[in-house]
Structure 1
Amino acid sequence: MIKRILNIISAAIHEGLDQIEDPKMMLNHTLRNMEDELSKARHAIVKQQAIAASYEKSLDEAQALEDKRRRQAEQAFNAGAEDLARKALSEMKHYEARAQYYDEQAELAYGQVRELKEQGVLLERRYEELKDKKQALIARANVAQVKERIVTALHSIDTDSFCREFQRLENRILEKEIRAKAGTSFATDEMCYARVEYADEVEKELERMRKEKIS
């Protein structure tokens, strides 16, 4: 029973976080199930221990009666009462068989107790591991869900349209940059041309300004 529960729990944990709609709820539910199974396992161990103890008690009682009937048979035989000795020996054999049966059953019951304890320890270890991993698993599930939403969103976006729009914007900016650069070059060339064209008149004005300064 416990092994089956462990297999089910292990399969649920490793099923895949993409299958979990509410990881916190699923993990809490799993933990509660494991707590219930731990409680059942502890109860089964106690019950099996009681059964083993009962067989052991019956074994002690059967062995005591076997010894008692053996002594009675010896006493009757020594007293010459063979019929009574025969009856005592018959009962002795009965209790001897019962003692053997109880011994076998007690050994089997204690073996089952050991097995249940081992499986209970394994279940409890898995339970503690899951408790320790609970927050980490929830975090991983949340990250996986966010990534899945992002991928879904990206797939729903027409990336080609966005790329074309950005290309048009880049082309417009480039055109503005070219026009601005061309305008600056034109203004500079125009100023240079003006300086050459009016060079003579500029010199005349400078000469006039010099004469006025001397006079």
Structure 2
Amino acid sequence: MSIMTRIATLTKAALHEGLNKLENPVLLTGQYLRDLEQEIDSAEKKHRELKVAATVLERRLSEYRLQADRSESEALQAMQQGNEAAARVAVSAKLRYLESADECTTGLEETRQMLIGLEASLAGAKEEFVRLKAKRTELAARARKAAEKEQANRAAAGSAPGFGRSHSPLNLNAGNASRGFERMEDKINEWEVLADSSASAFSASRPGAPAVNPEISSAVDAELERLRGQQGSGK
């Protein structure tokens, strides 16, 4: 064997050895499982935060409805006493509470929908984690078996490491693992989008200071008229 041929053979061997280390399916799946586990932990944290947000929104919704009922009672009492100004103030408060309740209802529904989607994603990811963990064990066994076979072949041939058919199982497994990584990467991308969008759940509307609304006066008048009719029908 000429010196140039030997150099070419050694260079090729070194190149393949490096590629095999980079494409080792056992190493890749091990790293991938760690990444996926971190994503699951992050999603579970978001799930806990969304549940807390939903609980807060439910409590606020109940409070707004209670305050709206209380304001209506105060308006009726003021009307019975002939206090038109106090009745208008109470009706204005009721309308603000009802508006806040509507905004809270919308935020609560959005949060619940996010929870449903996140729970489904989490369940799927956990199932995939279990499947990939088992797959990694299988790949490790196959890689070990292929390596042992290659070592036996080299010992029998008494030659330097070759890179023919004995290496094809490792390359094939790496391809299979890479395709699995791509599929799971798409799933993780969906998680990232969902996690980013979940921030909107925590900015659910809160009742701020009442702003001057050009339509509030007519709304108050309409509500007062309804209450007057309610009083008249009750007599």
**Band of TM-score, shorter chain:** 0.5 to 0.7
Question: Matches of residues 144-155 of structure 1 in structure 2 within 5 Å?
Answer: 149-151=163-165
1:50-93 C-alpha deviation (Å, 9 max, x unpaired)? 11111111111111110110100011111111110011001100
1:134 shift after superposition: 1.2
2:73 counterpart residue number: 71
Q: TM-score, normalised by structure 1?
A: 0.58
2:30 corresponds to which residue? 28
Partner residue of 1:96?
Answer: 98
Is the 2:146–2:166 Cα contact (8 Å) retained in structure 1?
no
> How many angstroms apart in 2 are the aligned matches of 1:113 and 1:20?
38
Give the greater-gyration-radius structure (CA): 1
Provide the alpha-carbon RMSD of the alignment.
Answer: 2.5
**Inter-CA distance 152–96: structure 2 relative to 1 (3 Å threshold):** closer
**1:24 Cα deviation after fit:** 2.2
Q: 1:137-168: CA deviations, max 9, x gaps? A: 22334566767834379xxxxxxxxxxxxxxx
Q: Which residue in the other structure is 1:195 paired with?
A: none
> What number of residue pairs does the alignment pair up?
137
1:201 is matched with which residue?
none
Instruction: Say whether the 8 Å CA contact 1:76–1:85 is kept in structure 2.
Output: yes
Shift of 1:132: 1.4
Residues 62 and 96 of structure 1 are in contact (CA less than 8 Å); yes or no, is this contact kept in structure 2?
A: yes
Q: Is the 8 A contact 1:73 1:88 kept in 2?
A: yes
Unaligned runs of 5+ in 2: 1-19, 151-161, 168-235
Q: Which moved more, 1:119-128 or 1:52-61?
A: 52-61
**Where do 1:59-208 residues align within 5 Å?**
59-142=61-144, 149-151=163-165
What SS does structure 1 have at the residue aligned with 2:23? coil
Task: Return the alpha-carbon distance in structure 1 between the equivalents of residues 61 and 46 of structure 2.
Answer: 22
Query: Is the CA contact 1:38–1:123 (under 8 Å) kept in the aligned structure 2?
Result: yes
Question: Contact 2:64–2:100 (CA<8 Å) still a contact in 1?
Answer: yes
SS in 1 for 2:50: helix
Which structure has the highest helix share of the two?
Answer: 1
* Counterpart residue number, 1:205: none
> Which amino acid in structure 1 is aligned with residue 68 of structure 2?
E
The 3-state SS of whatever aligns with 1:112 is helix
In structure 2, the residue corresponding to 1:135 is in which secondary structure? helix
Displacement of 1:20: 5.6
Q: Decide which of 60, 84, 89 is 1:58's aligned counterpart.
A: 60
The one of the two structures with greater contact order (alpha-carbon pairs below 8 A, sep at least 6) is: 2
Contact 1:20–1:141 under 8 Å retained in 2 = no
Distance across 1 between alignment mates of 2:109 and 2:166: 62
* Secondary structure, counterpart of 1:149 in structure 2: coil
Residue identity over aligned pairs, in percent, reads 24
> Partner of 1:75: helix, strand, or coil?
helix
